[in-house]
Amino acid sequence: MDFDLSSEQQLVVETARAYAREHLLPRARERDEKEIFPEEELRALGRLGLLGVNVPESLGGSGAGVVAYALALSEIAAADASVSVAMAVTNMVAEVICAYGTEAQKRRYVPQLCSGEAVAGAFALSEPQAGSDAASLRTVAERTPNGFRLCGTKQWITSGDRAGVLVVWARTGASVGARGISAFIVPAGTPGLSAGRPEDKMGLRGSTTVPLVLDGCEVPDDALLGAEGEGFRVAMTALDGGRIGIGAQAVGVATAALEAALAYARQRRQFGRPIAEFQAIQNQLADAATQREAARLLVLRAALRKEQGLPFSREAAMAKLYASEMAGRVCDMAIQVHGGYGYVREFTVERLARDARVQRIYEGTSEVQRLVIARSLLKEFEDHVP
């Protein structure tokens, strides 16, 4: 792996870092406490080219690649994970339309996502009874003379009430399981599409998570994304890439927690000296820094493989699994270093710990990541058995 960033990659990272520290961090606590959706901040990210980092310039993106995207997302997450999750899903929606959309679909929707005109993108796959088992979704898409009529309910949809462009999965065939599932592009405001009350979440409170109701939502034939019946493959491909984003987000949150713990340990004095001088504290900081760096390298390995067009599903699962669990440990360490102060909302580490918790759940739980990794290992072993 080449650890030297190109000038373009460096520019993307520096742009993200400057905006995150100057504009996102100062209001992160307010967005968390008041549950303020970052609409203007997302539009600003669009103007900076950060909502389509891995999207071709011809479609309004930055064209800087997956490595630059992962690094930029970490910078945003270190300041405010709520903003980073909306950024991550928007990039993912733009990428999936680039990968499977017709030329007309790409020209119509991708520039809206990359510029911030659409505010955000939404990925409507999960349902009340179909989370990790996405193949059991029940939303149906019935044929009409002019296209399809979507009926069903989606659950846990990030930015679902704010997104200008949504990709929705529904069953177009009678087959059960993954066969017969198709994907559709549904613009906000389409009759029959409505969002329910935002969930009152533990963390990521500046990001809305809502149920969606599709009540006779009619879309034309050209709303179909990819081939009919191949929607499950579209979703799984997108989720592989999305796991790189969640891994990068986890690295960003852990970085912020580690930096807060370092600063506090140097400032806090007990028994006549800074607690940073005590070996017990130093051991915790050293372990956290080592784990954060290991996670960062796993994320970058997966990002580089995707960028180079190599298989990356197992690497993305490893990165997401390790980084998300690492972030939980590092945030817990940061609270411990802060002592009682770490448990109150006045200190940033309390928010970071709440924001980190969901990273082990969305875009595939830790349990699902272990299944992906184990199946890949077993298949590789079987392929090499004489």
Supply the CATH classification number for the domain 7-119.
1.10.540.10
Q: What is the CATH number of domain 123-230?
A: 2.40.110.10
C-alpha separations of 218 from 28, 119, 139, 151, 224 in Å: 38, 23, 13, 9, 12
Mean pLDDT of the chain: 96
Write the CB contacts of 308 (distance below 8 Å, at least 6 apart in sequence): none
Domain locations in the chain as residue ranges = 7-119, 123-230, 233-380
Number of Cβ within 10 Å of residue 178's Cβ equals 17
95 is catalytic: no
Nearest residue to 41 (alpha-carbon basis) of 69, 22, 66, 65: 22
- Catalytic-labelled residue, pool 363, 367, 380, 382: 363
- Going by pLDDT thresholds of 50, 70 and 90, the confidence category of residue 340 is very high
Residue 386 CB coordination number (10 Å): 2
Q: Above 70 in pLDDT, residue 306?
A: yes
Rounded mean pLDDT of 34-54? 97
Q: pLDDT at position 190, please? A: 98
On the question of pLDDT at 274 being above 70, the answer is: yes
Predicted local confidence at residue 385, as pLDDT: 75
In sequence order, the 6+-apart residues with CB closer than 8 A to the CB of 235 are: 125, 134, 169, 181, 183
Q: Is the pLDDT of residue 92 over 90?
A: yes
State how far Cα 370 lies from the chain centre. 19
In this prediction, residues 2-27 reach a mean pLDDT of 94
Q: Which residues pair with 168 in a beta bridge?
A: 124, 184
Q: Has domain 233-380 been given CATH number 1.20.140.10? A: yes
Residue 251 confidence class, pLDDT cut points 50, 70, 90: very high
Q: What is the pLDDT of residues 58-83, one digit of tens each?
A: 999 999 999 999 999 999 999 999 99
Segment 365-373 shows an average pLDDT of 97
> Could you report how far apart the first and last alpha carbons of the chain are, in Å?
31
Grouping H, G, I as helix, E, B as strand and the rest as coil, residue 253 is helix
pLDDT band at 383 (very low <50, low <70, confident <90, very high): confident
pLDDT-derived band at 2 (thresholds 50, 70, 90) equals: low
Pairing of strands 181-187, 147-158: unpaired
